[in-house]
Structure 1
Amino acid sequence: MEFYDKLMTYLEKEDKESAVEYAINLLSEGKIDILTLYRDILSPSLNNMFCNVDEKEVCVWREHVRSSIVRTIIECAYPFVIKEREKRGVKRRNESVIVVCPQEEYHEIGPRMVADFFTLLGFDTVFVGANTPKEDFASAINVIKPKYVVISVTNYYNIVNAERAIKRLKEKANYDLKIIVGGHAFKSNKEVYKKIGADYLLDTFEEIEAFTKEEQK
Structure 2
Amino acid sequence: MSLLWMEYESEFEHLVEASYERESQAKEEYFKALSERVRKIIYRDTRYNIDYLYTSYVLGEKKIMNTYAIWLYELMVGIHKHRFTPEQTREYVLFHLESIKNAIPDVVSMDKQKRLQEIMEEAQQSIRAYRPDPHPKAASKYEKEIDEYMDCLFQRDTRKAIGLIHSYVEQGIDLDDVYVEILSESMKRVGELWHTADITVDMEHYCTSVTQMAMAQMYDQLFDGKRRDKTILSVCPGMELHEMGARIITDLFENHGWDSIFLGAAVPVEYILESVRNNHPDLVTLSVSMPQHLMDCEKAVREIKQEFPDIKVAVGGKAFESTDDLWKKWPVDIFTKDARELLARANEICA
TM norm structure 1? 0.85
1:13 equivalent in alignment to 2:148:
no
- The RMSD of aligned alpha carbons is 2.2
CA distance in 1: counterparts of 2:272 and 2:350, whole angstroms: 26
- How many angstroms does 1:48 deviate by? 1.0
Contact map agreement 1:102 1:133 (CA 8 A) in 2: yes
Report the equivalent of 1:164.
299
Task: Tell me, yes or no, if structure 1 residue 67 matches structure 2 residue 201.
Answer: no
Relative to structure 1, the CA distance from residue 163 to residue 3 in structure 2 (aligned partners, 3 Å threshold; closer, same or farther) is: same
Alignment of 1:105-184 (within 5 A): 105-173=240-308, 176-184=310-318
Q: Give the direction of change, closer, same or farther, for the CA distance of 1:52–1:116 in structure 2 (3 Å limit).
A: closer
Partner of 2:217: 76
1:157-181 C-alpha deviation (Å, 9 max, x unpaired): 21111011222323443x5222100
The letter of the residue matching 2:174 is: D
Residues 122-177 of structure 1 show CA distances to partners (whole Å, capped at 9, x for unaligned) of 2111111010111112012122111111000111221111011222323443x522
SS of match in other structure, 2:228? coil
Measure, in 2, the Cα distance between the counterparts of 1:52 and 1:114: 24
Alpha-carbon distance change, 201 to 47 in structure 1, aligned in 2, over 3 angstroms:
same
1:82-97 matches, cutoff 5 A: 82-83=223-224, 86=225, 91-97=226-232
Decide whether aligned partners of structure 1 residues 25 and 144 sit closer, same or farther in structure 2, where only a CA change above 3 A counts.
Answer: same
Q: Where does structure 2 lack aligned partners over 5 or more consecutive residues? A: 1-142
Distance 1:46 1:165, change over 3 A: same
Aligned mates of 1:115, 1:98 — CA distance in 2: 8
> What residue identity is the alignment partner of 2:345?
F
Over 3 Å counting, the alpha-carbon distance change for 1:55 and 1:185 in structure 2 is closer
For residues 195 and 247 of structure 2, what CA distance do their matches in structure 1 show?
28
Task: Tell me what 1:40 maps to.
Answer: 181
User: Which entry has the higher C-alpha Rg, 1 or 2?
Assistant: 2
Q: CA deviation at 1:196?
A: 3.3
Q: Tell me the secondary structure at the aligned position of residue 101 of structure 1.
A: strand
Detail structure 1 runs of 4+ shifted over 6 Å in the superposition.
52-56
Instruction: Give the partner amino acid of 2:248.
Output: M
Give yes or no for contact 2:291–2:322 (8 Å, CA) kept in 1: no
Deviation at 1:3, TM superposition (A): 1.7
- 1-side partners of 2:256 and 2:197: how far apart? 45
Unmatched 5+ residue regions in structure 1? none
Q: Which residue of 1 aligns with 2:100?
A: none
Shift of 1:104: 1.3
The one-letter amino acid of 2:239's match is E
| Larger CA deviation: 32-41 vs 128-137 | 32-41
Distance of 1:186 and 1:52 partners within structure 2: 19
Match of 1:2 in 2: 144
Q: Which residue of structure 2 aligns with residue 215 of structure 1?
A: 349
- Residue-by-residue CA offset, 1:181-206 (whole Å, 9 max, x unaligned): 01111224462112233221023243
Q: Is the 8 A contact 1:153 1:159 kept in 2?
A: yes
Report the 3-state secondary structure (helix = DSSP H, G, I; strand = E; otherwise coil) of the residue aligned with 1:125. strand
> Is the CA contact 2:283–2:314 (under 8 Å) kept in the aligned structure 1?
yes
Q: Distance in 2 between matches of 1:97 and 1:46?
A: 24
Deviations 1:49-93 (A, max 9, x none): 21497867xx2211111110111011111222234xx3xxxx312
Task: Read off the aligned partner of 2:232 and give its amino acid letter.
Answer: V
Equivalent position SS for 1:122: coil
Q: Label 1:156 to 1:142 Cα distance change in 2 as closer, same or farther (>3 A).
A: same
SS in 1 for 2:314: strand
TM superposition score normalised by structure 2? 0.55
Question: Which of 336, 341, 348 is the equivalent residue of 1:202?
Answer: 336
Aligned partner of residue 44 in structure 1, secondary structure: helix
More helix by share: 2
Identity within the alignment, %: 29
Q: Structure 1 residues 140 and 210, CA, compared in 2 at 3 Å: closer, same or farther? A: closer
1:163–1:197 CA contact under 8 A, matched in 2? no
